Amino acid sequence: MDEVKDPHKLKYKNVFGLWRGSEAPSNIGDLKQLQTLRGIQADKHLISQLECLTQLRSLAITNVDSSNNFGLCNCISKISHLPWLSVKASPGNALELSEISPPPRHLRKLILRGSLASIPEWFTLINCLTHLYLFDSKLGADKNLIHYLHQLHNLIVLALDDAFRVPHLLFNAGDLSALRTLSITNTAELRSMEITRACKSLRCILGLEHLTELNELKLKKLDVLDNSRIPKTLPCENTF
């Protein structure tokens, strides 16, 4: 991409769509005041310049693979005030984000698209996180996704799309009392799900009508849940 004119005055740049992707401007490292950078492909040039953009408040990066994964993690660690982060793996590659250390301490919204090699330990350190979206993570039971989710005490929205490959899902520990919306889609192996008082503020469960293999749903002491979204054909035990 051509360079951006008047880089010192530019604060906002939004390149195409969130997942479409585009090459970074040739002078990306000179955009010191840049706050929004979305739809940019990860490549050697971008990674070499990204750590200069310490004022970023919103970053969406695509095409992440093994050649740029480590460098990206290093750059993200240096953008300490980043509240909005979206990362998408390139086709056939897994996201390995464990090397983000420390994670942005003000991160509130995190979107990850692509197979996760492992769940980063820093998940439990993001105290400000309110919105988490995991797409195509394909995590098996051995990755213990729920263990990490239970420690995200300020989470308001949780969206899981083909995020796990387990037959049973149990939200019954930790403190997810801030959670308002739970969306679960494209989880063909899920057979049963139980949600308890740990999610006492849960108001909406989305995607249940598409979970064709789900044959058991247990809800315990969820006083504000909108039951109208639960399919009539789904066996549901709701204990108040």
For the sheet containing 84-89, what is the strand order?
A: 12-14, 36-41, 58-64, 84-89, 109-113, 131-135, 157-161, 181-185, 204-206
Mean pLDDT of the chain: 86
DSSP state of 116: B
Given this model, what pLDDT does residue 173 score? 65
Give CA–CA dist 52/74, Å, rounded: 12
Q: Where are the domains of the chain?
A: 59-82+91-239
Q: What is the CATH number of domain 59-82+91-239?
A: 3.80.10
State yes or no: pLDDT of 3 exceeds 70. Answer: no
Summarised one tens digit per residue, pLDDT across range 95-117 is 999 999 999 989 999 999 999 98
Q: Which amino acid is at 159?
A: A
Q: What is the pTM of this model?
A: 0.90
Distance linking the first and last C-alpha atoms of the chain = 58
Residues 186 and 205 sit within 8 Å (Cβ to Cβ): no
Give CA–CA dist 88/90, Å, rounded: 7
Given this model, what pLDDT does residue 6 score? 54
Mean pLDDT to the nearest integer, 37-41? 87
